[in-house]
A and B are shown apart, each in its own frame.
Chain A
């Protein structure tokens, strides 16, 4: 039954001329597309690095006994999980409309200095918003900030999965709260954190396609679509995009397998990770 369906699918793929396989193969590896692949990978890596780092900070803030710190983290997570990445990407791409310049300084400096009759302001650092939020940076920010919100929840679940006795044992030998977190709790939480983070990385690789709408013009999906519309061969280039994402995702899954193995040291076996890798049941 399955074999018949597969055969029908293959037949359709091979005989339908609209697939334009040779055209696709010719345009799938052109320099602009390869540049796009590179950008996609760089965006994935950077946004995940920022997302994981910031996510850990947010998770620790969320678990803080201080209600102000904890609610700041909650509000952040709430907002960035509520807004779709596509909307965020376009929003960040258009922040230049709101501010001509981005500056870091003292709040209300114009107003306060105005009261004293003087002019000037208290800007410490500034940059032209359109330069700064041009394409890549805007896309990266949108993806990384949204990722941090998801990672915060994953890290929090990981931290909470570690037995409270571990914290007590670490404190009993004189470790501070920071040391306890870094040396004892987080390494154990990693076992719970890594698998969903692998998922997040794969999701991120695919979500980099939304920055085509910032727009980030040297991104892979943007390039493939551009080739498609320019040559009126839309469908083959969409298939090319699928193939690229499948290939890159497969590479990431292998990486995830080794990471999981690394962080399950001292705990049972790696059989579970292997089962997940080859798609076995567990």
Chain B
């Protein structure tokens, strides 16, 4: 589903991704771990082209993201084509980023109505199903400011799902939440994983990684240090840096 080959990215003179090779299979849940500044969030943002990549190749579902190839060189796509590709990839942000001027249900219908041109009644019916799935059907007409962090994040997940994505990206979805609200968001994500959604999750929730992750990738300093099944990486880390990181956080 996702194929990264030697992906590089710099901010100014700082290289934050130093050649990432990674593969995510369909229906797989991949958990990205690593200390802050390791480049895991940046890599996630490269997958839907919120960040340009400076080298290597990155494709989703067999298509390059943000670029087209012509005679061995890569050219950035036109904005419209980038937007079309992005619509296939759902993203959930650390700080929810719901649209504060729209109710919960309008947040969910915004994509289908304005991007896909779905009729409003149809989109609203589907939005209600999705809100029901994340347990918030009764808050459909609430503005984000009236929702708790956990509720906002669940609406954000419903908003991403409304576009029927092939792939879902989660960028530390529970890091901005109060501890007692983390569970409700993780439960929704577990449900998604059970239903076979392909997911790439950046998180510090080791319990979630162990229970739901099919594979764990540990990144540090812009490179993939180690990857494997959760039990393997957590139980028997091979690399010193992985051991050091896990001893701090477990």
Contact = CB atoms under 8 A, between A and B. Distances in A.
Contact of B115 (A175, A187, A267): A175
A38 interface: no
A235 B111 CA distance: 62
A184 interface: yes
B161 to A, nearest CB: 11
B111 A174 contact: yes
A272 B110 CA distance: 29
Interface stretch (B10-18, B98-106, B123-131, B231-239): B98-106
Given A177-B79, A267-B145, A165 B160 contact: no
Interface residues of B, number: 34
Contact of A266 (B83, B93, B144, B163): B144
B50 interface: yes
Max chain B C-beta neighbours (<10 A), residue from A174, A179, A266: A174
A188 B95 contact: no
Max chain B C-beta neighbours (<10 A), residue from A171, A179, A183, A266: A266
A172 B86 contact: yes
A2 interface: no
Given A165-B95, A168-B93, A265-B143, A174 B83 contact: yes
B84 interface: yes
A266 B102 contact: yes
Given A174-B87, A175-B115, A187 B101 contact: yes
A184 B143 CA distance: 15
A270 to B, nearest CB: 13
Nearest to A164: B97
Is the contact region of chain A dominated by helix, strand, or loop, or is it mixed?
helix
Given A169-B99, A188-B100, A176 B80 contact: yes
A174 B115 contact: yes
Contacts of A169: 91, 93, 97-99, 156
A64 interface: no
B50 to A, nearest CB: 6
A165 B92 CA distance: 11
Interface in B64-113: 79-80, 83-84, 86-91, 93, 95, 97-103, 110-111
A179 B113 CA distance: 12
Contact of A174 (B98, B143, B156, B163): B163
B114 interface: yes
Max chain A C-beta neighbours (<10 A), residue from B93, B98, B99, B162: B99
Contacts of B91: 169, 172
A173 B144 contact: no
B50 A168 contact: yes
Contacts of B156: 169
A235 B144 CA distance: 56
A175 B85 CA distance: 11
B159 A268 contact: no
A188 B101 contact: yes
A166 interface: yes
B93 A175 contact: no
A173 B159 contact: yes
B87 A183 contact: no
Contacts of A166: 97, 99
A165 B103 CA distance: 18
B164 to A, nearest CB: 11
10 contacts: A165-B97, A169-B99, A171-B83, A172-B50, A173-B162, A174-B86, A176-B83, A177-B79, A179-B115, A184-B99
Given A163-B97, A169-B156, A267-B100, 20 more contacts: A168-B97, A169-B99, A171-B83, A172-B48, A172-B90, A172-B91, A173-B86, A173-B115, A173-B159, A173-B162, A174-B111, A174-B115, A174-B163, A175-B110, A177-B79, A179-B114, A187-B101, A188-B99, A188-B100, A266-B145
